[in-house]
Amino acid sequence: MNAAATSMPPSLAVAGLRISAGGKVLVPGLSLTIGRGEIVGMVGASGSGKTISAFSLARLLPDTLTQSGEISLEGERIDRLSESEMRKVRGGRIGMVFQDPLSSFNPLRTVGSILVESICRHQRLPARQARELAIDTLATMRLPGRKASVDAYPHMLSGGQRQRAMIGLALVNRPALIIADEPTTALDPTIQLQILALLRHQASSAACLFITHDIGAASAICDRLAVMNEGEIVEEGPTDRLLASPTHPFTRELLSHAPGGARFR
Amino acid sequence: MSSPLLQIRDLVIDYGKGADRFRALHGCSFDLEPGQVMAVVGESGSGKSSLVRAVAGLVAPASGEMLLDGQVLPPLRQRPPHTRRMIQMVFQDPGASLNPLHRVQAIIEEPLRVTGYGDAAGRKRRVAELMDMTQLSADLATRRPRELSGGQKQRVAIARALAMEPRILIADEALSALDFTTQDHVSRLLSDLRRDLNLAMLFVSHDMRSVRRMADDVCVIEKGHVVEQGAVSDVLYNPKSAYTRLLLAAALNPRAALSDPRLAEALENGEAVSEDALKGVMDIIRGGALMGDAR
């Protein structure tokens, strides 16, 4: 790491994040740092606490869950922001990609108008410029036909195309952090690979937290992996190191069940 | 020599009529012997589900032949009861195929009741037997589907299918909605059942590891066309089509696939990837290198 990089605050710094439901502690104390341009994979089985941890970063937990601990975005504490201030952060400085775009996109709105609304809210651009930006963004996401995809309703796109549009929406306001929660899980394997390639390239301007149960998908694009079990990071390290010599039994378990994790022959 | 259990010849499946006609399958042929497992592999919309649905009688083919024990296999409504029982199906989403109001006991018992199997006590014994066969503990019999895990629900669906003592089990993405650990367990169960019951299977899947573990033969379908077909030991270790190669790379070593800049760019752009572009990745996979070994 060079001097300029060390003097810059990390894109995301989480310290002592604690999440509980009533008296039950779900995440006892999570700490994680992601630098600019870095993709970190948070990997674990269902129920390991990875999704609630990710949602808590954008302060999106349901009222039944309480969170405490420090969350800093580019050096600024966002855990203390009011709800109305958080609304400016979500979709702006934090972009989000979910598993199923069909259920997170409004079915009555065109993909273009969903992007335009987000651009107008966060960048205060006039409508015409916002539309230009939406068109450019969808083209950068390699959606076919400039006009066609802007004016398409979500159901008119294929699963892979919808996920491209969703990544476009997450990136359109140039966020500091992208949280991608199982973005490839609902897709065919070959389309998964396309979306992973897109995410890796396009997210390079931000920091990205990639949540998945699929250690194979995470390994394809992540610089570092954090393996979660029962609300705690049990092992964390550079992807190559972690895959080649996993130390925690749970990491080995995840690898042994992944399609490419055990010897094929 | 007697005829195979199932013979499929030049099967063509269309949806819609006239100008709106869409050809979902452009001709597919194979034989299935008792106890043989054939995997059907392809993307969503490739026609693989149409193929197995035609065998199950849920879709009427436009042309071609389907023979069961040498006899023509008509659409479901025209199938006599004993023919219906011989082919059973398990679907991707057990949540949607199990009645949420019924208890496990009643769900598995239903086909027995409908076909007039034994008396109440006899049916209860048979349900217990089926639950044992599918490794469901007896105390689950009084539970409703929402009280079961995804893996348990899929076992119930398998038990219900086996109640009819089928000779062919169709598993249409039956593992896809389960997490990896559960996928391993359920695919092991299916392998055991196939061995113990000499059950033939049509196994629709993306998961190359369970295809490798379970299937004898594989049929790869792309946009309604069979692009590759043969023994698993042949097709998966020596894939010819770009689609099969990409599917293997995606499943076995996605890190290696994306470490090739040209391949990564084509994928990002959503372009068709040539067989040639995948040669490097295939060499890595053939050499036995998996995720952890990628450079």
Report all structural domains of chain A as residue ranges with CATH numbers, in order of start: 3-257 (3.40.50.300)
Rg (CA), chain B: 20
Out of B179, B212, B268, the one facing A198 most closely (by C-beta) is: B268
Q: Residue B182: what pLDDT?
A: 86
Cβ within 8 Å of residue B263, ≥6 positions away: B257, B273, B277, B278, B280, B281
Residues of chain B neighbouring A262 (CB-CB closer than 8 A) = 209, 290
CB neighbourhood size of B289 (10 A): 19
Is the pLDDT reported for residue A62 higher than 50?
yes
Residue B141 maps to which CATH number?
A: 3.40.50.300
Q: Give residue A263's pLDDT band: very low, low, confident or very high (50, 70, 90).
A: very low
In this structure, are B98 and B122 located in the same domain? yes
In a domain, B277, yes or no: yes
In this structure, are B287 and B145 located in the same domain? no
pLDDT in tens, A93-129: 999 999 887 888 999 999 999 999 999 999 989 999 9
Q: Residue B289: what pLDDT?
A: 53
In a domain, B94, yes or no: yes
Q: Residue A6: what pLDDT?
A: 58
In a domain, B12, yes or no: yes
Please, are residues A232 and A28 in contact by the beta-carbon 8 Å criterion? yes
Least Cα distance to A60 among A99, A90, A88 occurs for A90
This prediction's pTM: 0.84
Sheet architecture: strand order including A39-43: A94-97, A177-181, A207-212, A39-43, A224-229, A232-238
Query: How many domains, in total, are found in chain B?
Result: 2
In this structure, are B131 and B37 located in the same domain? yes
In this structure, are B202 and B246 located in the same domain? no
A70 vs A8, higher pLDDT: A70
Q: Residue A151: what pLDDT?
A: 93
In a domain, B141, yes or no: yes
**Could you list the residue range(s) of the whole structural domain that residue B270 is in?**
239-295
In this structure, are B15 and B124 located in the same domain? yes
Across chain A, mean pLDDT equals 91
Beta bridge partner(s), residue B279: none
Tokens of A200: 């890796």
Q: Residue A1: what pLDDT?
A: 47
In this structure, are B261 and B194 located in the same domain? no
B137 burial (CB, 10 Å; 0-12 / 13-18 / 19+) is: exposed
In this structure, are B197 and B230 located in the same domain? yes
Tokens of B237: 């270790």
In this structure, are B276 and B160 located in the same domain? no
Q: Helix (H, G, I), strand (E, B), or coil: what is residue A86?
A: helix
In this structure, are B185 and B264 located in the same domain? no
Mean pLDDT over A65-80 rounds to: 96
Out of B180, B181, B270, the one facing A194 most closely (by C-beta) is: B270
Q: Does B2 touch chain A (CB under 8 A)?
A: no
Residues of chain B neighbouring A220 (CB-CB closer than 8 A) = 254-255, 257-258
In this structure, are B179 and B77 located in the same domain? yes
One digit per residue, the tens of pLDDT, for chain B of length 295 reads 567 999 999 999 999 988 889 999 999 999 999 999 999 998 888 999 999 999 999 999 999 999 999 999 998 899 998 899 999 999 988 778 899 999 999 999 999 999 889 899 999 999 999 999 999 999 999 999 999 999 999 999 999 999 999 999 999 988 887 877 888 899 999 999 999 999 999 999 887 878 888 899 999 999 999 999 999 988 988 888 888 888 888 888 888 889 889 899 999 999 888 877 888 777 776 765 554 443 3
- Rounded Cα gap, residues B60 and B50, in angstroms: 9
Q: Residue A265: what pLDDT?
A: 30
Is the pLDDT reported for residue A264 higher than 70?
no
Least Cα distance to B160 among B215, B101, B91 occurs for B91
Chain mean position to CA B222: 16
Smallest Cα distance from B159 to chain A, Å: 25
Q: Residue B292: what pLDDT?
A: 44
In a domain, B1, yes or no: no
Helix (H), strand (E) at residue A213 = none
In this structure, are B66 and B174 located in the same domain? yes
Task: Please say which residue of B236, B256, B273 terminates a domain.
Answer: B236
Residue type, B10: D
In a domain, B232, yes or no: yes
In a domain, B30, yes or no: yes
Cross-chain Cβ contact A259/B251 below 8 Å? yes
In this structure, are B171 and B251 located in the same domain? no
Sign of the torsion angle spanned by Cα atoms A171, A123, A11, A8: positive
Cross-chain Cβ contact A213/B180 below 8 Å? yes
CB neighbourhood size of B247 (10 A): 25
Q: Chain A residues with CB-CB distance to B under 8 A?
A: 45-46, 142, 159-160, 164, 188-194, 196-198, 200-201, 213-217, 219-221, 239-240, 243-244, 253-255, 257-265
Q: Residue A259: what pLDDT?
A: 64
